[in-house]
Amino acid sequence: MSTSSTRVLIAGGSLVGLSTALFLAHHNVPCILVERHPGTSIHPRAVGYYPRTAELLRTVGVEEAAKSAASGFEKHTTRAGVVSLAGEVLFSKEELAGGDDLADLTPSKLLLLPQDRLEPLLRARAEKLGADLWFGTELVSFTQDDDGVSAVLKGPDGDQSTVRADYLVAADGPRSTVREALGIPRQGRGVLSRHVSIAFGADFAPVLGERRYSVVHVKNDTVTGILVHDDTLTEGTLIVGYDPERGESLDDFTDARCAELVRAAIGSDTVEVTVRSRFPWDMAELVAERFAEGRVLLAGDAAHQIPPTGGYGANTGIADAFNLAWKLALVLNGTAGAGLLDTYEQERRPVGLYTARQGSLQLALRSQTATAQERAATDDAMTVTMGQAYPAGAFVAEKEAGALGLTSDPRTLSGRPGTRAPYVVLERDGAPLATLDLFGTRFVLLAGEGGQSWAAAARTAAGQLGVALDVHRITADGDQQLSDPQGRWADAYGVPAGGAVLVRPDGIVAWRSADALPAGEQGAALTSALRRILAR
Ligand SMILES: Cc1cc2nc3c(=O)[nH]c(=O)nc-3n(C[C@H](O)[C@H](O)[C@H](O)COP(=O)(O)OP(=O)(O)OC[C@H]3O[C@@H](n4cnc5c(N)ncnc54)[C@H](O)[C@@H]3O)c2cc1C
């Protein structure tokens, strides 16, 4: 039996596993990903990626490719309440949960792109950056000890091999065998309903005319479900429910039955339908009670199963991976203590619980069963995805200002540690530069007018701790490398004159100097903050 070794082994190569491999490769962490299917997903499950996810993709050089792959979907809207695609409108609602009004908050936009189109882009970029992706390979079993994880794999030809890694990331989906092997229970409202997604080929053009939809809710005597079509107008997915308690099962969905349902959803008896595949899935609100056990970390649906009604599952899983990758990188290269990895669960599990609940609330809203209390508790998608405010974790909390809740309004983010670093457009050599584009691999210290001494402080801290740390001084007048012609950044980040703010590699604010410290104290203050953040 052959044996390989790597720093991180990733089980599962769908959206979250591929994102984990990509983000780790971006941080130069050697990793092996194993996916039991021979290639990326053939099912177009997730179709919407919120601007925060697009920002993460931007950081690793995938946003442009994703935007261009999504260009065919730009005019697609969602529609609730029609008899069929060709039929009567029961109640009219056309919307695009776009975030197009967010130009002041983010340089990125909502991406409408089926999962089976995004995954190959993640795969290509991850491989380009050096990640080792083994498709057709299953993780069969694993053991862990104080120094690492040993896994048994089964390859495409059925041969077994072993891999030794420092850490295992389980991105193996809602039925995660890794989570089950660890005996980690899940909490939540459980499975709410069972569904099957039917992928099919059909000619949508005659019935659609000029209309384009990402999601259409249909309801008639034959079918109640959700219809999705792609930008070629030749491929679609129909999502329908079934109820085992009423004696229904997956076996009921023969090709003939699926084609009948599709024709009823399209509203045409004559359209030719080719059923390609069926994908069963559960609508569930379930969150793992622990996101880590020793050297094994859970990410994506393995950690939290979220009703897809709000479109949060993949977005949350990709954000998990982004949170985890820099922490693994710094622990593995010795810059951080292993305690930094404890903050993964500390930060992401509350988000998992909150987001799973928000998915359920969206379900109640859309099925028109929400109580007044539930309506009041439902946050908008931008708050859910961009306003995440960690209650505790790898940052120096400003306790005197009150503990952070789980979310803040992303429109009023103010640079508080534990929240996303606000977006401000600066200038470098006369060209616009988004603050977001300063973050990605290293810690970044931003100082403003009167903050000349922070460069020396950063040298002291970086020298003492061996941390990769960039320093930028931002001034109004433009005679420095970075200027702030709109005079926004200091207010946006809540940094006093002569103060500074430290941003983590994942674009989350880590620490702020509350006051303009004397130059002689800045190095010690920054070093102490970094020590806490890095668990040293
Ligand atoms: C109909 C539908 C629509 C959705 N729409 C949206 C949306 O618009 N936006 C959104 O954010 N989310 C959406 N979601 C949710 C989203 O699809 C999931 O959250 C996302 O796919 C989770 O990704 P994952 O990689 O964690 O898990 P999965 O996609 O479940 O992938 C797990 C992978 O691990 C592999 N695997 C499992 N065990 C092993 C093993 N032992 N060895 C090797 N490989 C293994 C599996 O083959 C699989 O490829 C939707 C979901 C559904 C069902």
Q: What is the pLDDT of residues 401-459, one digit of tens each?
A: 556 677 778 888 889 999 999 999 999 988 999 999 999 999 999 998 888 899 999 99
Nearest to 329 by CA among 59, 30, 6: 30
Residues 6+ away with beta carbon under 8 Å from 533: 340, 394, 395, 396, 502, 504, 510, 511
CA dist., res. 173 & res. 43, Å (int): 14
Mean pLDDT score across all residues of the chain: 92
> Could you give the 3-state DSSP secondary structure of residue 357?
helix
Average pLDDT over residues 474-496: 85
What is the residue whose two structure tokens read 């959206």? 15
Q: Is the pLDDT of residue 479 over 60?
A: no
- Say what the pLDDT of residue 91 is: 67
* More confidently predicted of 258 and 514: 258
Atom of ligand 1 nearest to the CA of 315: 11
Ligand 1: residues with CB < 6 A are: 11-17, 34-37, 45-48, 115, 138-139, 171-174, 177, 197, 239, 281, 300-302, 308, 311-315, 317
Tokens 């340089």 belong to 107
Q: What is the mean pLDDT of residues 241-249?
A: 92
Q: Whose CA is nearest to atom 38 of ligand 1?
A: 172
Smallest CA separation from ligand 1 atom 50, residue: 46
Residue 97, pLDDT > 60, answer no
Would you report the helix, strand and coil content of the chain in percent, each value rounded to 5?
A: 35, 30, 40
Average pLDDT rounded to a whole number, residues 24-37: 98
Question: Which residue has the CA at smallest separation from atom 6 of ligand 1?
Answer: 46
Residue 112 alpha carbon to ligand 1 centre in Å: 17
The helix/strand/coil state of 323 is helix
Rg of the chain (C-alpha set): 24
Q: What's the gap in Å between 425 CA and the centre of ligand 1?
A: 35
Q: What does DSSP assign to residue 429?
A: T
- Centre of ligand 1 to C-alpha 16, Å, is 7
Q: Which of 36, 149, 191 to mutate to test the pocket of ligand 1 (most atoms within 8 A of CB)?
A: 36
pTM recorded for the entire structure: 0.96
Answer whether 131's CB lies under 8 Å from 25's CB: yes
For residue range 264-281, what is the model confidence (pLDDT) as tens digits?
Answer: 999 999 999 999 999 999
User: How far apart (Å, rounded) are the C-alpha atoms in residues 382 and 145?
Assistant: 41
Q: What is the model's pLDDT at position 367? A: 80
User: How many Å apart are CA 17 and CA 485, to the nearest integer?
Assistant: 41
Instruction: Name the CA dihedral angle for 22, 23, 25, 26, rounded to a multiple of 10 degrees.
Output: 120
Joined together, the tokens standing for residue 215 give 């999601």
Rounded to an integer, what distance in angstroms lies between the CA atom of residue 341 and that of residue 338? 6
Q: How many angstroms is it from 173 CA to the middle of ligand 1? A: 5
Local confidence band at 197 (pLDDT 50, 70, 90 cut-offs): very high
Query: What's the mean pLDDT in 199-204?
Result: 96
Q: SS3 for 161? A: strand
Tokens of 300: 């994506």
Identify the pLDDT of residue 44. Answer: 82
Query: What's the distance, CA 182 to chain centroid?
Result: 24
Q: Take atom 35 of ligand 1 and give the residue whose Cα is closest.
A: 12
pLDDT tens by residue, 282-337: 999 999 999 999 999 999 999 999 999 889 999 999 999 999 999 999 999 999 99
Choose the residue to mutate in 15, 227, 304 for probing ligand 1, maximizing ligand atoms within 8 Å of C-beta. 15
